[in-house]
Amino acid sequence: MTLAFVDANVLAAPVPRSLLYMARTRVASQYRLTFSPLAELEAERHQLPEAIKVSELRQRLAWNQCVDVTEVKALGLIDTHPKDQAILAAAVSCGARVMSQDFPDGCVSGHC
């Protein structure tokens, strides 16, 4: 089963987020979704004021989270924009493929 890491852009967008989380409950689903606390924080910063916060959805629906990574340089993400390194390091450290508008193929710095 594939672990798919959703970034803040996906978490903040209600329709793509809902489709991904609804589809994973299908019997034939071959993936689990996860995100980091930093991705959650970034998503909430970009959500509309009237939107249900990602943290509330995570608690209500028991969504999975992987941990943030403090030592980003050790993962070799030097060709990644500094603002994205911590998010991508969390995805790499938990062995997930990235689901993002920025990296549609799920491959980051050779981490596929």
CATH of the domain at 27: 3.40.50.1010
Structural domain containing residue 50 = 2-99
* Of the ranges 22-26, 56-60, 85-89, 104-108, the best mean pLDDT one: 56-60
Domain assignment present for 66: yes
Read off the pTM.
0.78
Domain assignment present for 62: yes
Domain assignment present for 51: yes
Token pair 């990602």 is found at 54
Segment 22-43, tens digit of pLDDT: 777 775 678 788 999 999 999 9
Domain assignment present for 105: no
Domain assignment present for 109: no
Whether residue 56 is predicted with pLDDT greater than 90 in this model: the reply is yes
> What burial class does residue 47 get, using C-beta atoms within 10 Å of its C-beta: 0-12 exposed, 13-18 middle, 19+ buried?
middle
Please give the Cα distance from 77 to 71 (Å, whole number).
11
Domain assignment present for 111: no
Q: How many domains does the chain have?
A: 1
Domain assignment present for 106: no
> What average pLDDT does the segment 44-68 reach?
90
Domain assignment present for 110: no
Helix/strand/coil (H/E/C) assignment for every residue in 47-99? CCCCCCCHHHHHHHHCCCECCCCCCCHHHCCCCCCHHHHHHHHHHHHCCCEEE
Q: What letter would DSSP give residue 111?
A: B
